[in-house]
Structure 1
């Protein structure tokens, strides 16, 4: 099941999880029909969608497909009747889910996979009222659904292997990391681990050992940083030194007999509830839920981007997804663009975090925008995933940037690219960056691109369609005037 084979998704339940699913699917170009009796469902989904768009524009700038269409459905049946995939995200009430899943089952085509976002209810029980129980699977995501890649997949007694595989393929196609739960078990895998930590944290508050903020600090300044790229077992293996896990178990295993944890949760007395709530209020301070969500997203983006650079863990999932987006993105039709003029192939907005202490776009962001502009040029001439894997690509070996105007948060920037010359191995390009509101030229970048062969890792001639298209562009723009600033060098003279 490729992402493009799912054109329409039906979502039932539009809370935090359901709205997150809607945002992730819409940004992958899938039309979404969603039902939730909440009269404010549209506002809530649009709020989450805006946050998701902001996040993914940072992670994969310019690479997302055209956004899908959002429709508010009038009923459960209306939401799922034409769906190619269904995701249920109702409250964690088994009786409610069983009844609604039976209605979804009756209203959809028998071949449509139905995923449930349940955090821990057993799928065998959830599918008990369905006429086609074999197509139900748990697809348990994590908040924010639009940003965190993990989705746990768990089938019930009657779930078919094909359903599990089709669900995993779909979730992968929209940028997620499916984790198959081998045995049906309450709470699945991740929530059982989180629950153990949560119970111990409640004991620490209950016993006056630590506040909510101190407990969170113990995680975010310590093990939490490691958990973002390595799990407990791999980390403990390294703690055993060169002898590995066996030595670690021998050295620290006896500690398991010590009274270090209390897995039985404390009773949630009114006193404990008041203490946790008050400490949490103090911890959050003046930050609203929206502000906390924005801070969370920015921190996740930073971690994911860093891991992407290492092609490791969740960063590997992100990198693979970004490569698929590039492969699937349709190249602009040459017939729709006057290639005898500078090419307008990339546009972006100046994000607030791009602004420096002077209130202007910081210097390195200009290089980012020009790099994205070069990527847009390469996509335009046909450099796709297949070409990258088989032939290689052009890489920037020299750049000269001129800063000619100021840009501020929210400005729309539009880049235009002129080919000054090209041969079998090189391309000489000139990018001009304009402010969209008034057309002012704010920066230019002159670059030399060198084609590097995939086989040798050294400079080598381009081949195939990209080589021909680069040559065509150079010929089409050969008679254009040389832009002001081309060939400049830094000099006091």
Structure 2
């Protein structure tokens, strides 16, 4: 991770605020310019949601939060910036004016990303003295949770610029999707526009309501798309014969007059009133902030499920966690876990389920294993430690969104035995739980106890002596 790096956010609406939150929570200093007198309050509300949700995705602590400042001019905001993100309204003359001012005042090496959902990079670069610095970096809301950023350049964009942008975006948790050829609305929004257009016709023609359309997506193909996208889903639909069979079987349906993708319904007052009324009936009982919190909690749970499977966006999160993980030092006691409690760890009583305490302490033991050399390579060689007994004491409630850390002491380390004592504390120092854990070294080939390898045994004995244990 880069240390004390600065991002400038030009335009602090929903998208700009999301960018600010993502950079800030990944340890960057953030400088914001937005002429809206309510910008600081609005970004504060976005940031509050991000502070709650983003840390839940990871099993490690995020970097220390950067500093957030607000500025009266673009020139002041871009001072010292490594990256400038433009998120002003979708009006090309306005974007040209803002981008020109950014280029005039930002450091020479700073890249400039635009959040535009529709304009091509060549359109944004028109008239610029340094077009290579300007790229499309189109995110998806909520920017602080969803990893996709469409990274688009023009013929004036150098490979070096792409590589620098891709590395930087990856470092803060994004999945930069390189779009090889310019096109209006890039890739993802073209799909969304097609679905949106068909949905408008279904409502206008009285076939479906907003609620029915949303149910069709979230109860069906939306779940498939989250894990496999479009083409892998249809490959499975082709059975053992695969994609070719699917196209041969269902391809002819494309010629049938099902959709109205070439026509746009007239968004007259009647249709707008109809959509607004149905939407109010569907979810008007919830405030926007309540809907955002529900959305974020659902996304965290879905993304964590994909993390566990190492699939789709979850695989990307696993990769990013390795980037932001901190190396365990040799302190006494060891800080073996530092993380935020995710929303999917709570039970019907509204606090962390007791099984998750076991997971936290298991993760703490895994940190010790890696420190002494009993890591994945050691396991692949056929040796490991097995837990044979734990005693957990639950001392205080722990809730979703709570920051916790675990300190661990090696209280016995001799021969085949390794005994650990863990303490789990909240951010305010409250002791939430303790665990005493006995582990025995085993051969994975015989599944029976055996002495550790000499170098591992030496590290275990050293830690035990450091922590005051009797070996």
Counterpart for residue 491 of structure 1: none
Conserved 8 A contact 1:419-1:427: yes
Residue 208 of structure 1: CA displacement? 0.3
Residue 406 of structure 1: CA displacement? 4.3
Label 1:87 to 1:217 Cα distance change in 2 as closer, same or farther (>3 A): same
Q: Are 2:367 and 1:368 aligned? A: no
Could you tell which deviates more after superposition, 201-210 or 295-304?
295-304
Counterpart for residue 421 of structure 1: 412
Residue 475 of structure 1: CA displacement? 0.7
Hey, what's the Cα distance between the residues in 1 that align with 2:340 and 2:244? Answer: 53
Cα offsets for 1:35-65 (capped at 9, x unmatched): 1112222222222222222223221144311
Structure-to-structure mapping, 1:30-179, within 5 angstroms: 30-179=28-177
Hey, what's the Cα distance between the residues in 2 that align with 1:100 and 1:459? Answer: 68
Label 1:163 to 1:204 Cα distance change in 2 as closer, same or farther (>3 A): same
Counterpart for residue 489 of structure 1: none
Label 1:423 to 1:20 Cα distance change in 2 as closer, same or farther (>3 A): farther
Hey, what's the Cα distance between the residues in 2 that align with 1:414 and 1:234? Answer: 40
Q: Are 2:461 and 1:471 aligned? A: yes
Counterpart for residue 234 of structure 1: 232
Label 1:242 to 1:442 Cα distance change in 2 as closer, same or farther (>3 A): closer
Hey, what's the Cα distance between the residues in 2 that align with 1:407 and 1:445? Answer: 19
Conserved 8 A contact 2:56-2:341: no
Residue 460 of structure 1: CA displacement? 8.5
Conserved 8 A contact 1:360-1:406: no
Aligned to 1:72, the other structure's residue is in SS state strand
Hey, what's the Cα distance between the residues in 2 that align with 1:105 and 1:184? Answer: 22
Hey, what's the Cα distance between the residues in 1 that align with 2:372 and 2:115? Answer: 39
Conserved 8 A contact 2:29-2:66: yes
Label 1:174 to 1:412 Cα distance change in 2 as closer, same or farther (>3 A): closer
Label 1:155 to 1:352 Cα distance change in 2 as closer, same or farther (>3 A): closer
Hey, what's the Cα distance between the residues in 1 that align with 2:86 and 2:396? Answer: 48
Residue 403 of structure 1: CA displacement? 3.3
Structure-to-structure mapping, 1:430-449, within 5 angstroms: 430-433=421-424, 442-448=433-439
Label 1:96 to 1:352 Cα distance change in 2 as closer, same or farther (>3 A): same
Structure 2 unaligned blocks of 5 or more: none
Hey, what's the Cα distance between the residues in 1 that align with 2:355 and 2:307? Answer: 19
Counterpart for residue 301 of structure 2: 302
Label 1:108 to 1:185 Cα distance change in 2 as closer, same or farther (>3 A): same
Counterpart for residue 243 of structure 2: 245
Conserved 8 A contact 2:111-2:165: yes
Label 1:451 to 1:299 Cα distance change in 2 as closer, same or farther (>3 A): farther
Hey, what's the Cα distance between the residues in 2 that align with 1:353 and 1:140? Answer: 29
Hey, what's the Cα distance between the residues in 2 that align with 1:316 and 1:135? Answer: 30
Hey, what's the Cα distance between the residues in 1 that align with 2:258 and 2:233? Answer: 20
Conserved 8 A contact 2:425-2:432: yes
Q: Are 2:21 and 1:23 aligned? A: yes
Hey, what's the Cα distance between the residues in 1 that align with 2:184 and 2:429? Answer: 59
Label 1:364 to 1:125 Cα distance change in 2 as closer, same or farther (>3 A): same
Aligned to 1:129, the other structure's residue is in SS state coil
Structure-to-structure mapping, 1:162-201, within 5 angstroms: 162-201=160-199
Hey, what's the Cα distance between the residues in 1 that align with 2:236 and 2:409? Answer: 52
Conserved 8 A contact 1:304-1:315: yes
Label 1:184 to 1:389 Cα distance change in 2 as closer, same or farther (>3 A): farther
Conserved 8 A contact 1:426-1:451: no
Aligned to 1:357, the other structure's residue is in SS state coil
Q: Are 2:402 and 1:403 aligned? A: no
Counterpart for residue 223 of structure 2: 225
Hey, what's the Cα distance between the residues in 1 that align with 2:423 and 2:187? Answer: 51
Could you tell which deviates more after superposition, 180-189 or 401-410?
401-410
Residue 397 of structure 1: CA displacement? 3.0
Structure 1 unaligned blocks of 5 or more: 483-493
Aligned to 2:228, the other structure's residue is in SS state coil
Hey, what's the Cα distance between the residues in 1 that align with 2:222 and 2:59? Answer: 28
Structure showing greater relative contact order (alpha-carbon pairs closer than 8 Å, 6 or more residues apart):
2
Label 1:399 to 1:32 Cα distance change in 2 as closer, same or farther (>3 A): farther
Could you tell which deviates more after superposition, 264-273 or 413-422?
413-422
Aligned to 2:56, the other structure's residue is in SS state helix
Label 1:266 to 1:228 Cα distance change in 2 as closer, same or farther (>3 A): same
Hey, what's the Cα distance between the residues in 1 that align with 2:175 and 2:249? Answer: 34
Cα offsets for 1:169-205 (capped at 9, x unmatched): 1111111111111111100000001000000000000
Conserved 8 A contact 1:391-1:462: no
Could you tell which deviates more after superposition, 58-67 or 257-266?
58-67
Could you tell which deviates more after superposition, 63-72 or 265-274?
63-72
Residue 416 of structure 1: CA displacement? 3.7
Residue 477 of structure 1: CA displacement? 2.6
